[in-house]
């Protein structure tokens, strides 16, 4: 019996919270639109667009013969691919590229713009460089690939990899994403407005209805005084909702009895 009453109280509280959010839906939507607009403005004016360019190289195993390819050969090729992935961003290779192109950046800054990917079950290595200049991105990735191939020939007794595809100039930025940032900004604005309304509702401990008197003070109300005729439609709707909840609560109590 006591558990049922607690469940009823929780349900009524959730209904009131829902209507509190519904009454301020215009503020929630407006804040979401403002958040999306701010995110869009920041993305287009404050963030630097980044462009990418990629090369592809094929890792060959000079000891392997296609006519008699074994699992051991495949294992060696896989290990060679992993070695090449490490050598791409090794300090001697990176410093050589920085020196060749006279780049104004440090080793860590350069490495942060480089990514290396090896598609599964292949001996293809994809090297990608991001830069704020699409032409510089192509220049860097091409020189990085050539320096890496030359460097590996010096330290590894194996056949040099072949360049499958050189870098291209891509004039479409890869970041930041305007659509993604606008959506995120709108969601942040929506959640922020909803959270403020919920906090305001939870912190409002004023007594508004006869149910609040019974709930918080433990007193029974003998009667209520109606509001004046000039009350607004919004107040009338609120009062109708309260009366409906009060009737539902009384029906539940009678059914439980």
Mean pLDDT of 115-138: 88
- Under the banding of pLDDT at 50, 70 and 90, the label for residue 34 is very high
Q: Is the pLDDT of residue 174 over 80?
A: yes
Go through the domains of the chain in sequence order and give each one's CATH number.
51-165 (3.30.70.1130)
> Does the model's pTM come out above 0.75?
no
- Under the banding of pLDDT at 50, 70 and 90, the label for residue 234 is low
Mean pLDDT of 176-196: 92
pLDDT tens, position by position, 35-77: 999 999 998 888 888 999 999 988 776 544 444 444 444 454 5
- Under the banding of pLDDT at 50, 70 and 90, the label for residue 202 is confident
- Under the banding of pLDDT at 50, 70 and 90, the label for residue 172 is confident
Q: Which of 60-69, 76-85, 87-96, 181-190 has the lowest mean pLDDT?
A: 60-69
- Under the banding of pLDDT at 50, 70 and 90, the label for residue 33 is very high
166 vs 139: CA distance, rounded Å: 10
Q: Is the pLDDT of residue 249 over 50?
A: yes
- Please report the pLDDT score of residue 69 as a whole number: 43
């Amino acid at each position: 019996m006591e558990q049922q009453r607690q469940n009823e109280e929780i349900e009524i509280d959730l209904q009131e919270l829902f209507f509190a959010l519904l009454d301020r839906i215009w503020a929630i939507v407006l804040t979401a639109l403002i958040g999306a607009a701010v995110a869009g403005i920041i993305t287009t004016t404050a963030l630097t667009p980044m462009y990418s360019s990629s090369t592809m190289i094929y890792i060959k195993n000079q000891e392997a013969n296609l006519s008699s390819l074994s699992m051991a050969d495949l294992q060696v090729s896989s290990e060679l691919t992993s070695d090449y992935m490490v050598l791409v961003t090794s300090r001697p290779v990176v410093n050589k590229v920085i020196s060749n192109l006279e780049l104004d950046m440090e080793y860590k800054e350069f490495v942060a713009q480089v990514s290396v990917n090896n598609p599964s079950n292949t001996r293809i290595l994809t090297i990608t460089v991001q830069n704020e200049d699409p032409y510089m991105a192509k220049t860097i990735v091409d020189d990085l690939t050539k320096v890496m191939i030359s460097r590996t020939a010096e330290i590894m007794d194996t056949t040099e990899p072949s360049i499958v595809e050189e870098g291209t100039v891509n004039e479409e930025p890869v970041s930041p994403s305007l659509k993604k940032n606008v959506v995120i900004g709108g969601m942040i604005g929506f959640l922020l407005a909803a959270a403020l309304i919920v906090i305001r509702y939870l912190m409002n401990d004023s007594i508004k209805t006869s149910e609040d008197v019974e709930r918080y003070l433990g007193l029974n109300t003998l009667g209520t005084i109606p509001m004046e005729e000039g009350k607004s439609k919004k107040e009338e709707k609120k009062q109708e909702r309260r009366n409906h909840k009060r009737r539902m609560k009384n029906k539940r109590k009678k059914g439980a009895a």
